[in-house]
Chain A
């Protein structure tokens, strides 16, 4: 099992996301061979013009969704950390949906079972398609590292300029 430091997931950057939903279309085409955002494992939210973000599974440690399933239909992959759904066991009761703080696990409009991001076998199509490069397939450590770098760059922008 990869540690929480190593697990890669799909992360959205609210400063770049424009709420265009290209990720939703790419996801539904990859998994369901159709264009249908209601069958997408990542969903974009536009609260207003300035606040946009696409949200997918964050591969939590000790996943609340797994813990919440009374039928043992969910388990977390030891290899990648994604949530695996046993469709024979899932009856769509929705306890996992209530347990997820991010709305990342959803009820499928047709199968009536839950479905969730599976990282497209390690090559997430949403990340590949995002026209704004607002989605990253990354780890929490890299996200914090990037944030630190850009914060320091901002702090020392004058010094960086004079170097050139």
Chain B
């Protein structure tokens, strides 16, 4: 049985800790990872609590396969809390080594509540749980914190998940980083951790992690390892996700200059091909996984010489093409700085691009930037702005540290129109004017603009649908993608390895049963995925979000047609097709026209206890 069957409760206000058993029925219904994490969040939170208040619980949670030899799923954990960026539910996952260690220490999850008086870190040594002084770690990067804690505690094999200066300073796009480069990236979970004065979680786990059927499980893992060497992971093992730069550019789907253009004239120079040829020095991987996907890039010469970071497409795009920066050395440095301060590279890049757009349009001037020339393409300004956001320096740093939605409101003078976010979360690297399934999918995602909640860009990019329009049927595509990804993220399989599940849900159900000994069918698994999506939606409704008025698209996506010559010229999402898409999606979901799950739907999914929340909402909207 690969669940530890134990949940650790840590009250940071009193310093008290407690271990309670995991309810096995809940485990099956919500799997683990984000599903079980959001269920635990619902059960341990009150409605309407500010994301940065001590009352907002912060949940670290493993998956049912964490700690086993399963490639990618064996090394994972997720963090769930209310997001200071979206004011709705948030989940984020990371791989590396930390997740397996947490399971080996004997915990499926840790629920942090309250707020410590002083900056502390929690040291979990199997059964022993202590809050230790972290004043000496103040201002340190996550990687520096990791090194310092292992040094202080005297064990090289301790694993650490930590925030940087940005998390301490409540930057709303702050992330949590483990194992140097692995981030609980999106939704500002680092700020929640910082609001609790919790600098890091350090774990040493020495217990066995057992699976129900060791022989069959190990054989299945062997099969997965073999598949990992095959075509399903080719992209991640070779050029890596930066391969997308030229693919999306060719499709006129590579957002450039803060979603003004959909192609980038400097794409070749920031391509995966160029990156690998000149900068990638080593490709490494996470625990239990032989896929190797971490492309570690080093700048060999020039003003950013020696700068080292792990490069993936999304962050490369955000600090590169979106800011019109066509220099990979500056991009590598920008991403290194994001990791150093502990801020989400996607959101940060989109925020800098937003500021550059404001500057180009005269909404902010040199007076606001302390003399900095914030024009598109100015790599020095990109690097400087990231520093200011990460450390909340000056007016500009402080206002941008609030995220693009809040910054847009605060700056005013029409700035909101340049803020590219959904529900407060900044857009990832897909032009939604030319990838319209993605547009609809991103708009209905419960954590805001996110490519990983449904993979809705995939049918567009692969040419399975007419990507230039929204039509009936897209709702089903998105729903299926969402439910599947909820399962993937609850098992916490790395999305790079989703393709090695040749038999899809059947393989996942087999994986689950062999590990836990709990019978699970593919049908039950996808039902769990649907349950999780409805649960998340209802949590958002409880928080005053999560209805049709929150399923929006950024102003530019609906008002500024693609100017680039070629296939995509003139593309824009219009209200009529967007409304049709929302209607279609809500209808297949079994939700009301306002996007609210019906009491019947909730009952069907075993979510009877949530019925009162939706009933209240439905009657308030009449």
Contacts and interface: CB of A to CB of B under 8 A. Distances in A.
Interface string B490-507: 000000000000000000
B283 interface: yes
A109 interface: yes
B565 to A, nearest CB: 42
B285 A29 contact: no
Interface stretch (B289-297, B398-406, B579-587): B289-297
Interface residue range, chain A:
20 to 34
Nearest to A15: B282
B292 A34 contact: no
Interface in A13-68: 18-22, 25-26, 29, 32-39, 45-46, 48-50, 52
Contacts of A50: 281-282, 296
A58 to B, nearest CB: 20
B68 A35 contact: yes
A131 interface: yes
Contacts of B548: none
A36 B207 CA distance: 7
A96 B281 CA distance: 38
A131 B228 contact: yes
Interface in B256-315: 281-292, 294, 296, 308, 310
B225 interface: yes
Contact of A18 (B97, B206, B284, B310): B284
Contacts of A20: 284-290, 292
Interface stretch (B134-142, B208-216, B473-481): B208-216
B199 interface: no
A131 B225 contact: yes
B104 interface: yes
Given A34-B209, A131-B290, A49 B284 contact: yes
Given A18-B285, A19-B284, A132 B180 contact: no
Given A49-B308, A50-B282, A36 B206 contact: yes
A129 B221 CA distance: 10
A22 B71 CA distance: 9
B67 to A, nearest CB: 6
Given A25-B69, A29-B69, A36 B208 contact: yes
A20 B206 CA distance: 18
Given A25-B69, A132-B290, A132-B292, A35 B283 contact: no
A130 B282 CA distance: 18
A49 B296 contact: yes
A39 to B, nearest CB: 8
B393 interface: no
A109 B208 CA distance: 11
A51 to B, nearest CB: 9
B622 to A, nearest CB: 55
A49 B294 contact: yes
Closest 4 CB pairs of A and B: A131-B290, A34-B208, A25-B69, A18-B284
19 contacts: A19-B284, A19-B285, A20-B288, A21-B288, A22-B288, A25-B68, A29-B69, A29-B214, A33-B214, A35-B68, A35-B69, A35-B208, A36-B104, A36-B206, A45-B156, A49-B181, A49-B308, A131-B229, A132-B290
Given A25-B68, A131-B289, 13 more contacts: A20-B287, A22-B71, A29-B214, A32-B208, A33-B214, A34-B209, A38-B104, A39-B208, A46-B284, A49-B284, A49-B296, A50-B282, A109-B206
Interface of A: 18-22, 25-26, 29, 32-39, 45-46, 48-50, 52, 109, 129-132
